[in-house]
Structure 1
Amino acid sequence: MLSILIPTYNYSIVKLVHEIHRQATLLNITFEILCFDDGSTEKELIETNKEINNLAHTRYHILEKNIGRSAIRNLLAKKAKHEHLLFLDADVLPKESNFLAKYIKEIKADYPVIYGGIRYQEEKPAKDYILRWKYGSSIESKSASDRNKSKYASILFSNTIIKKSLFLKTQFSNKLSTYGHEDTLLAYSFQNLNTKVLHIDSPVFHIGLDSNKEYLKKTKEALNNLKYIEANALVNAEFVKMLRFHKKLKSFKLNLVFATIYTLFKRTMEKNLISPISSLKIYNLYRLSYFCYINKSE
């Protein structure tokens, strides 16, 4: 019935797997939990994660080398036994004790894609992690009704069920080797196929926050990927908010103004963004100006 697929890299998945296993066992469903380790380097963490092999229908497999975010998810799907694939990131935890029960109820409705949503805990994290928490709480944490207004662009594959037959036709693109927008390409392929998508409220908490400095680094990686996506026409610009806005700026020849803003104020913006008082307005300006900067010769 259900294959629960969890990729991990240098992260403890013990708490997550125990909770998912508990819920699946109580539901008395046919399931498996596959956890593939993408070449972790922290030996103590690997030994800790091996504990989950003691759970029924659960497997922790360690890859000899790191193959990347997209490739490991594709590999997990190919190895899965069941038709419904629940993709979970390693750094999440179910918000509710009936997390799986809500999904199982909706599986019967025969939707090829079901997205349960993501939440961020209400209490503020340590000051060095505030930027990721602010962005996630403000932008990613949405109810099913809000997500349904843009049903494809709202999907994040940190907590999503996909039918295996559909996933094997689409898969995560190996064209993106670094962080960011692999979700965008897969969601866009679902839109092109006119795939039925169901948004429900069965969220997970995102608990593995990046530090402010690490998140800025990942932000740039994601925007570099977005440049590649645009340059190779892998999605329609209207599908991605940043591409829509960049296209409009170029039509008024304002993109070079924003590129100049990045050149002149990069350090000032970054100083704010790595601080405990980081501003989302400055973060959005930073993202837009950086994207204009890396595309200024286009």
Structure 2
Amino acid sequence: MLSILIPIYNYNVYPLALELRKQCLECNIDFEILCQDDASDSSLNIFNEKINLLSHCSFVSLKENIAHRENRNSLAEKAKFEYLLFIDGDSTIVNSDYIKTYLFNLFDFDVVYGGRLHPEKCPSDNQKLRWKYGRFIEDKSAANRKTKPYHSILFNNTIIKKVCFDTVQFDKTIKKYGHDDTQLSFQLSKLKSKVSHIENPVEHGDLDTNLVYLNKTKESLENLNLLYQKKKIDIEFVRLLQLYHFLKTTKSTFIISKINAVFEKLLFKNLTGENPNILVFNLFRAGYLCSIDFKSRT
């Protein structure tokens, strides 16, 4: 029936595994919960080891880091049931009928995405950039997500048929952080996979600090540029790529990259400060993407 796959890096997922197991037992279904730490060598794994004492559950800590994409692929390869539920280790279950809700919405679809929430209040000023982008950009209702079903999938809190996932998988040739969900969703769109969006969110718990998230954003933009250069994704699938392609076609990337360099310190100050602005963040993303193009030609 259901394989629950939890990729981990330096996080205590025992409470998450315990809650998911409880709900699966209440639903009386065949299930397994596979948890895999990506060689973090974390002291928190002492708690994760307790997962192995739970029936239908297992925890493994890898000896070598394989990165997030391949960790997901590895978990899917080990899974034995028809449906795969991908849920990140830093997620919190907020619905006592979380598993039951998915079971009611599984049939006739290849993919079902339940959505994601961020806390109502930001844990600290030093996490506001990730919190704001998550709460005001990524957190969308099912009705909103249904307007662009393929563009709105995040593979944290997504159920996909194993036969469907085995056809696409995450691209293991790309090692950097970011846009793995985008690429996989694009592949699903090309296959015309049946996608459903429902209200069954999890809460994103472990928010990056402003500086960490800004550096991750740079890496994800480098990945997006790589996908663009290798023609692994259509320009129309990503709004930022549409803008970038327009600027590239009009030979404006050099100008934008220079403007970005002039204002880089001001942008950085805002985005790592106590009240980062999402508009400034979007300007930074566009400018940094153009600067990647300029650097690649110099």
Please confirm whether the aligned pair reaches a TM-score higher than 0.5, indicating the same fold. yes
- Does residue 199 (structure 1) correspond to residue 197 (structure 2)? The answer is yes
Q: Which residue does the alignment assign to 1:76?
A: 75
CA separation in 1, counterparts of 2:225 and 2:245?
12
CA separation in 1, counterparts of 2:93 and 2:140?
15
SS of the equivalent of 2:44 reads helix
Deviation at 1:258, TM superposition (A): 1.7
CA separation in 2, counterparts of 1:231 and 1:114?
30
Q: Which residue does the alignment assign to 1:165?
A: 163
In structure 1, stretches of 5+ residues that fail to align are none
CA separation in 2, counterparts of 1:110 and 1:38?
33
CA separation in 1, counterparts of 2:15 and 2:219?
29
Number of aligned positions between the proteins: 296
In structure 2, stretches of 5+ residues that fail to align are none
Q: Which residue does the alignment assign to 2:35?
A: 35
> CA-to-partner distance for each residue in 1:220-247, whole Å, 9 max, x for gaps?
0000001100000001100011101111
Partner letter of residue 69 of structure 2? S
CA separation in 1, counterparts of 2:155 and 2:181?
6
Deviation at 1:280, TM superposition (A): 0.7
CA separation in 1, counterparts of 2:94 and 2:254?
44
Farther-moved stretch of structure 1 (113-122 vs 45-54): 45-54
CA separation in 1, counterparts of 2:151 and 2:279?
22
Deviation at 1:23, TM superposition (A): 1.1
Q: Which residue does the alignment assign to 1:99?
A: 98
SS of the equivalent of 2:60 reads strand
Q: Which residue does the alignment assign to 1:17?
A: 17
Q: Which residue does the alignment assign to 1:118?
A: 116
Partner letter of residue 69 of structure 1? H
Describe how 1:105-254 pairs up with structure 2 within 5 A: 105-107=104-106, 109-254=107-252
Length-normalised TM-score, structure 2:
0.97
CA separation in 1, counterparts of 2:170 and 2:251?
34
Deviation at 1:94, TM superposition (A): 1.6
CA separation in 1, counterparts of 2:15 and 2:259?
44
Length-normalised TM-score, structure 1:
0.97
SS of the equivalent of 2:33 reads strand
Deviation at 1:61, TM superposition (A): 1.0
> CA-to-partner distance for each residue in 1:214-273, whole Å, 9 max, x for gaps?
000100000000110000000110001110111122333333232112111111111111
Amino-acid identity (%): 42
SS of the equivalent of 1:295 reads helix
Cα-Cα RMSD: 1.1
CA separation in 2, counterparts of 1:185 and 1:283?
22
